[in-house]
Structure 1
């Protein structure tokens, strides 16, 4: 079978070279479109369920929220581990699925099982799913700084919450923008218990009035002089005075008792349990951009930067947007380092081949084979969704030295056969001598490269984080070796007939 392939490729050199050239173009396209990252994603397939229950103790949150959710998630299919964390006012439940589970399938299952316990949770509690991202989704971070003093932290936080965050979340590939720092503005009603007692009003009456008054209602239409007028009840609270003027009851004379009669209303910051600070210069507000699962991190970060440039004129006067973390720098440095390493390896291996073969046309064949094999290795990488990172490119770097083994063996074998052929008076055709020489060592060389590739097969037995770390290296190493083995019995015979009989560049004594 291998001899037949060698025979066909040697006699149909033009077809082979054209096909390889077409594959090289596909490989170049794959290089340009393969996802880029610094390291492989080591995260488990997981879904996070986040629930808020303000003001409740961790013990109560554990009993009423965390335990029911954890119990329900244990019955979901393909779930391997469920972890629950209860804190003051909120609950986190992390559902980890088996290896290879599609994250969106897992999110659907979590929603399905959450629907079964919705009625068992406390009234007003609504669990939500975390972003469809992984542990390495944190890729970009920014801060809003106002050195002029025109905007305080509460105003910057409001701008971040209601405008900037939604602009960035509209960028394709962004799963979430988590806002940090600053003060969340709230209306604070400080009730005087003595005044409540004097007016004989319960506290819940004040709470119910404020809660129910913050709404709008709509009626039908009324017609006057041939025109229709909409009937609306406008009650949304927009200022402190709106709350102060709400009636909560009446005294014995029928005089309305207003909120301002029993409480002091003011604008103030919500309670916070952390701050965001920039380089020790003071507090700021900012955001963390989380990249969606399976997206090209470099492309998403680039789109985020373009969006920030687009909205920069819309920032409040005196506000500056400072980038505090940008993973694209790390990715670019990592890729550049490996790129330079690959180029150095290509140059060194090429020089070694040239020195030992001492025949430029013959050395050209393995030298050309190396970049072609490296380029073609990116085609299966792109097809399998393997990102270009330290480990995957490291696999190609490891394989470079072994890629040319078969080509060098065949070159030496062909030279020996040609020398014998010339010593015997050149009987027959030189083309036939070259083809027969390639056939003699083509099969063993092909299988020797495959044996090297097979030696990495045990790596595929690794699981969990170890497997996710080393499998990209094993994949790319095997891709490179397998492609080099195929080129050894297809492209090499075709090129050998073109270069082997060239005498002008024979540097051997």
Structure 2
């Protein structure tokens, strides 16, 4: 079979050259389309289910949420195993699928199963899917350098301005905020005053809940003009919360301010984010989607940051803490430099030792053609250009050159034998 291929190639040199040129052009275009990353994505094909039930102990979370979810999610098709973790107020379920399963098909099946499981969970508990990102999807970390704002204001800018803007960048799955204080109204009840006015805690909760509401009426037309009737009842300040009536005692309303203290506080935190020992910072983590080009996503995020920076409060700016783009550029440039150096060194050695430019050219020309064709296969199997894949290509250059040298030497040997035989025949004819 090999002999027939060689024979056909020798008889159809023009076709072989055209096919080789076409493969080289295809490979060159594949190099530009191949996704670039610093490290290969070896994470499992998983879907994360996150459930929050604040104030509950880990054992209660395990019994009421984690165990029912794990047992019900195990029966899905093409699943490998399900892992569950319970902690204070939170439950995490990791559903691991087979490697060849499409991640969005897997997420739809998990979401489909959760729609039936939710009825068996405690009231008010709603499981939700985690971001469609991998374990190595954290491509960029940033903080807000805003000396003129307190931590609560910085977190508000991050959650209500920066986060929503960066989530619109193509390829970004989620912007995970960290640090600072999430502002909230805190109502601290005085048990002695509740006992004096004979008020249960539920009465205070219901009073706040019913007074923080907005309801609609109907459309009223007068003089050919339509008016929408509605009531605006959303609480907007501490004073409004303090003036909410709870009950009436002898014609005098008992307000929230009479039995509790209302103040603006931050949500309870389990840790802080300190940067370079200079104090707390507020920021976010950019999580990339499955199968995206990390280099392009990072460039798009940075471009969007330049646009967002124009709308930040005066004196505030972005401070990039971790940027995988720099690691990608350094690692890829190092591998490229190594490849070029290997190609030059191998070419010189081949030319020096063979000392036959046509043989050396046939060997050297195999290197760029083989490298270009290898990127066609990388794209076909969904492998990105990273340290591992490019290092493998660099190591394979020796095999490519070695094969070319063996073939050239073998061809040269047979040609020399045939030439010696031809000279002997010519000598015999002369005699």
Would the TM-score normalized by the shorter structure come out above 0.5? yes
**Residue pairs, 1:442-461, within 5 angstroms:** none
Deviation at 1:307, TM superposition (A): 0.7
Instruction: Give the match for residue 429 of structure 2.
Output: none
1: CA distance, partners of 2:74 / 2:315:
52
Instruction: Give the match for residue 189 of structure 1.
Output: 187
2: CA distance, partners of 1:80 / 1:373:
38
Instruction: Give the match for residue 404 of structure 1.
Output: 401
Matched, 1:79 2:70: no
SS in 2 for 1:323: strand
Instruction: Give the match for residue 35 of structure 1.
Output: 35
Instruction: Give the match for residue 7 of structure 1.
Output: 7
Instruction: Give the match for residue 127 of structure 1.
Output: 127
Normalised by the length of structure 2, the TM-score is 0.94
Residue among 248, 255, 258 paired with 2:255: 258
Instruction: Give the match for residue 460 of structure 1.
Output: none
Residue among 326, 330, 334 paired with 1:333: 330
2: CA distance, partners of 1:175 / 1:340:
33
1: CA distance, partners of 2:182 / 2:424:
91
Instruction: Give the match for residue 56 of structure 2.
Output: 56
2: CA distance, partners of 1:98 / 1:421:
58
> Unmatched 5+ residue regions in structure 1?
429-509
SS in 2 for 1:387: coil
Deviations 1:321-374 (A, max 9, x none): 100001111122221222122122212221221122111222111011111111
SS in 2 for 1:404: helix
**Residue pairs, 1:36-435, within 5 angstroms:** 36-147=36-147, 150-253=148-251, 255-420=252-417, 422-423=419-420, 424-425=422-423
Deviations 1:448-492 (A, max 9, x none): xxxxxxxxxxxxxxxxxxxxxxxxxxxxxxxxxxxxxxxxxxxxx
* Greater fraction of residues in strand: 2
Whether the 8 Å contact between 1:52 and 1:127 is mirrored in structure 2 is yes
SS in 2 for 1:299: helix
Deviation at 1:237, TM superposition (A): 1.3
Matched, 1:23 2:20: no
Normalised by the length of structure 1, the TM-score is 0.80
SS in 2 for 1:115: helix
What is the Cα-based RMSD across aligned positions, in Å?
Answer: 1.9
Whether the 8 Å contact between 1:248 and 1:259 is mirrored in structure 2 is yes
Deviations 1:229-275 (A, max 9, x none): 2111101111112212222111122x322222222211111111111
2: CA distance, partners of 1:258 / 1:223:
38
Deviations 1:83-137 (A, max 9, x none): 2211111111111223333222222222222222211111111111111111111
2: CA distance, partners of 1:420 / 1:118:
82
2: CA distance, partners of 1:399 / 1:225:
84
2: CA distance, partners of 1:380 / 1:16:
20
2: CA distance, partners of 1:116 / 1:60:
21
